[in-house]
Amino acid sequence: RIIRKINFDFSRFFGRISIKRLKYFPIYFVGLILLFGFIYLSIPKFYNYENLSIENEICNDYKVKCSSIGKINYNIFPYPRITFRNVIIYDLFDNTKSFGKIEKVELKLILRNLLNKKQFLFSKIELQKANININLKKIKKYKNFFSELTISKPVYIKKGKINFLNGEKNITSVENINYKYYPDEKTDDVILKGNFLGDNIYINFKNNKNLLKIFLLKIQDLN
């Protein structure tokens, strides 16, 4: 009798389910997934980033001192990212001078770690309209500094500019820079495109961890 009772209850339950309603189940299921996904992506929007000092944490990872005078924002589209503006990077060896100014910095966040506001993980860093000053008198110091620096995430620079200085004197510049740095376990790959002395310049540098280095330089008008 218990089995008959259970079978009767199930038959009543399924008898009330309309086949027409069942065909909309995939739509409801996908809608719920999208809703919960949107909620998950939106939670970091309510964090107080001003108290987290994210820019200082990032700068410490790259062993430089910097400051941001713009607001820090979190955006969902086209991908979850943290943005802060008007970043000043101080000279690597003299904190009273500027090594570079960046109009906008974007950190592309890793989805699985969005709710951990104490330690944001990002997959790449993008610098937009970065103005970088390289003093040729300190070129050996720069070399030693970057040879000891470990960069584990890709770095992109869009519409940047590199100024080459001799002390306080401006010598030349590479403008409209698009720069990509891809670190890997075996190889570091650098691609730089820009305008130099009225010509288009292309540089590709591959640094193999097995001591093989390939440097490719192309200047368009010189073929």
Would you write out the chain's pLDDT as a tens digit for each of its 223 residues? Answer: 655 555 555 555 555 555 556 666 777 778 888 888 888 888 888 777 665 566 667 787 788 888 877 778 888 888 888 888 888 888 888 888 888 999 998 988 888 878 777 677 888 899 999 999 999 999 899 888 888 888 888 999 999 999 999 988 999 999 999 999 988 877 888 999 999 988 999 999 988 867 778 888 898 887 6
Beta bridge partners of 109: 122
Cβ 176 vs Cβ 159: under 8 Å: yes
Sequence-ordered alpha helix ranges (H) in 43-194 = 54-61, 139-147
pLDDT attached to residue 214: 86
Exposure class string for 142-173: b at 16+ Cβ within 10 A, else e:
eeeeeeeeeeebbbbbbebbbbbbeeeeeeeb
DSSP letter at 23 equals T
- Residues of the chain by 3-state class (helix, strand, coil), percent to 5: 30, 45, 25
> How big is the chain, counted in residues?
223
- Between CA 213 and CA 193 the distance in angstroms is 19
- With CA atoms as reference, report the closest residue to 75 among 104, 32, 97, 33: 104
Residue type, 165: L
Contacts of 205 (CB under 8 A, 6+ apart): 188, 189, 190, 213, 214, 215, 216
Cα 120 to Cα 216: distance, rounded to the nearest angstrom: 36
Return the half-sphere exposure (C-beta side, CA atoms, 13 A cut-off) of residue 72: 18
Task: Output the pLDDT for position 7.
Answer: 54
C-beta atoms surrounding 48 within 10 Å: 8
Q: What is the reported pLDDT for 75?
A: 86
The answer to whether the predicted template modeling score (pTM) of the entire model surpasses 0.95 is no
For the record, the structure tokens of 200 come out as: 């288009």
Structure tokens at 63: 């062993």
